[in-house]
Chain A
Amino acid sequence: MKTSLKDWPKVYQKIKRVRGLDEHEKVLFARSLAATPDERWRMNETFLRSFGLWGRSGLKKFASS
């Protein structure tokens, strides 16, 4: 099943009955599983950049936290 980020509601439908995950985690996994590798990496980078945790300066902040 080839998907991209916009298809996450379809993936959510497939995993919504799994045990051991709360609603938030199911959405998180559905988005991550639906996304393409490039979209997954973009989400990772965007998230870290939003906290200033990217690049060499990010490494220093990460190590000191």
Chain B
Amino acid sequence: MGALRAEKIRFQLIGMSAAVLQGVPVTTIDVDFWLDLPARQYMRAINVARSVGAKMVRNTIVELTDGTLVNFIFEVTGLKSFAVEFHKARKLNFHGQTIPVMSLESIRKSKTVVMRPKDEAHIHYIDETLRLLRKKEK
């Protein structure tokens, strides 16, 4: 995250890794970063990751030195532009940095459009978390 910032590449954490950080009790094996870059510039992101010791697994997937898999994403189905979502993102402390994390509402919105088999289960857990968060804050 620090390396992306140093290269002035804007990013936000999305997908179920973002949902986990906001309290959705599920597991996910990778971390999804939406980058403010055109897809044709994917090597910029890969090179940033390599500069901190990551190994390239696929064109958009790297494995960090601690084993974490990071997936770089350049477009998100069902949502507006990177800038619009970036503005709406929550700022959370994670691994010693304050990072933009996509809101649960936006993650849900994207999943309702994509609707892969796993998304139905994810939406259920996101909905329950939003309901219980309101109870928690009462």
Contacts and interface: CB of A to CB of B under 8 A. Distances in A.
Nearest to B92: A37
Contact of A15 (B20, B55, B69, B135): B135
Interface residues of A, number: 29
B21 A40 contact: yes
Contact of A36 (B20, B93, B133): B93
Contact of B23 (A1, A38, A40, A56): A40
Contacts of A37: 21-22, 92-94, 101
A59 to B, nearest CB: 6
| Chain A, interface SS category | helix
Contacts of A56: 55, 57, 63, 67, 69
Contacts of B30: 59
Nearest to A33: B23
Interface of B: 17, 20-25, 27-30, 55, 57, 63, 67-69, 92-95, 101, 128-129, 131-133, 135-138
Give the top 9 A-B pairs by smallest Cβ distance, nearest first: A55-B67, A32-B25, A37-B21, A33-B23, A37-B92, A28-B25, A32-B23, A37-B94, A15-B135
Interface of A: 1, 11, 14-15, 18, 20-21, 28-29, 31-33, 35-38, 40-41, 44-45, 47-48, 53-56, 58-59, 62
